[in-house]
Amino acid sequence: MTKNQRIVLYSICILLFLFGFDLLNSLNSGKPIVWTRIFNYFILTQLLYISAIFWLSYMLWNNVWPRRKWYKIVGVILFLFTFFISFRYVIEEVISPLVLGHGNYFEGVSFQYYVSDNLYYASIYIVVGFLLFLLDYQIRLQKEKAELEITTKNAELDFLKLQVSPHFLFNALNSIYGLAYKKSDHTHEAILQLSNLMRYMLYEKNQMVSLDKEWEMLEDFIALQAIRLNLPLQLDIQKNGDTSPIMVPPYLLITFVENAFKHGKLTGTAMPFKILLEVKNNNVHFISENSNGKINKDEQKGIGLDNIKKRLELLYPNRHTLKIDQSEAFYKIDLTLQGNEN
């Protein structure tokens, strides 16, 4: 908990010890509340030793408890008991007689009796002080754990994104190399398409990007592949719904399309390469379906689908479905993301 929350919690407990029980007893018994009895000199001394024991408990347990050394724990307990009894004796049985002419206990009380009587009160305040510390400690642990999980999650996402970019760049450069080798007139177009894609990869460093930008990247990628293949592609591309307010992880859709170009048969077939992007009620539905070609056309298997699955598990836990249907004739990806309004 925060420092202010800790102060409020401890203050409430101290006030309950100072006034709460007396007020409850007065209310339960029906007796009038005597303010002169509630507000007196020994309320001040009680405030002093309760505050001191709570503060000491917090400081000592904060240093000793995380390591769980039994001898240090025993030492803290003995010290707290000794401090409480000694501190209360000094302010109530040494200083008070000098100020008021009498102490809190009866005249002539022995130190042995005082110690045995205050073991009970010390136990109450020490146990409550420990429980308050333990509550604060557990809240801090949970907060630190949550922060660590977020840091780990972001680090893993950054690593996965770094995996995507070199893999995609390697394939794109190979495509342009093939065009340049053939001295194709489309080489300059391919370079322009690649520059758009590179700009996206270099400057889009956010964890989430606009679905519109992701779609533009997908279109640039398809155009680049069409130039590389130098064959008429059988495409059926549709985008339905308002995609402007939707945010998605970068490089999300491109992996599915890349796999279609890598493993699918997109020319000379009765089945067109179908891409459907639909947004409805802030949910995203994406379909990529193509005819199957030679499995593993190149030796580089890549990291695409495994990468996407990990990112979806991190960013959309229990809020996504990814279905992969595959046969000898076709390959289909069906992805749904729930609740994606920015």
Query: Cβ distance 285 to 276 under 8 Å?
Result: yes
Q: What's residue 22's pLDDT?
A: 64
Q: Which residue has the higher pLDDT, 57 or 225?
A: 57
**Prediction pTM value:** 0.53
Query: Cβ distance 258 to 304 under 8 Å?
Result: yes
DSSP 292-327: E-STTSSS---SHHHHHHHHHHHHSTTSEEEEEEE-
Question: Quick one: angle between helices 111-181 and 304-315, nearest 10?
Answer: 150
Question: Quick one: angle between helices 304-315 and 252-263, nearest 10?
Answer: 160
Query: How is residue 130 written in tokens?
Result: 């420990």
Q: What's residue 300's pLDDT?
A: 46
**Whole-angstrom distance, CA of residue 332 vs CA of residue 335:** 10
**Whole-angstrom distance, CA of residue 47 vs CA of residue 69:** 31
Question: Which residue's entry shows tokens 């754990």?
Answer: 145
Mean pLDDT computed over 130-145: 90
Residue 115 pLDDT greater than 70, yes or no: yes
Dihedral angle over CA of 159, 314, 340, 219, nearest 10:
40
**Whole-angstrom distance, CA of residue 110 vs CA of residue 76:** 26
Residue 156 pLDDT greater than 70, yes or no: no
Q: How far is CA 332 from the centre of its chain?
A: 33
Q: What's residue 294's pLDDT?
A: 56
Query: How is residue 139 written in tokens?
Result: 């809240």
Task: Give domain limits for the chain.
Answer: 3-146, 184-337
Residue 329 pLDDT greater than 50, yes or no: yes
End-to-end alpha carbon distance in the chain: 30
How sure is the predictor about 152, in pLDDT bands with cuts at 50, 70 and 90? low
Asked whether the CA dihedral 201, 204, 208, 209 is positive or negative, the reply is: negative
Lowest mean pLDDT among 115-119, 170-174, 291-295, 317-321: 291-295
Residue 295 pLDDT greater than 60, yes or no: no
Query: Cβ distance 129 to 216 under 8 Å?
Result: no
Query: Cβ distance 256 to 237 under 8 Å?
Result: no
Query: Cβ distance 176 to 194 under 8 Å?
Result: yes
Mean pLDDT computed over 170-188: 80
pLDDT in tens, 200-217: 766 666 678 889 988 988
Q: Which residue has the higher pLDDT, 229 or 54?
A: 54
Question: Which residue's entry shows tokens 């990112």?
Answer: 311
Mean pLDDT computed over 119-147: 89
Residue 336 pLDDT greater than 90, yes or no: yes
In terms of CATH, what superfamily is 184-337? Histidine kinase-like ATPase, C-terminal domain (3.30.565.10)
How sure is the predictor about 199, in pLDDT bands with cuts at 50, 70 and 90? confident
Residue 273's DSSP bridge partners are: 235
**Whole-angstrom distance, CA of residue 24 vs CA of residue 281:** 55
Query: Cβ distance 255 to 304 under 8 Å?
Result: yes
**Whole-angstrom distance, CA of residue 333 vs CA of residue 324:** 5
Mean pLDDT computed over 148-157: 68
Q: What's residue 54's pLDDT?
A: 92
Residue 106's DSSP bridge partners are: none
Q: What's residue 224's pLDDT?
A: 77
Which secondary structure element, helix H or strand E, spans residue 273, and what is its range?
Answer: strand 273-280
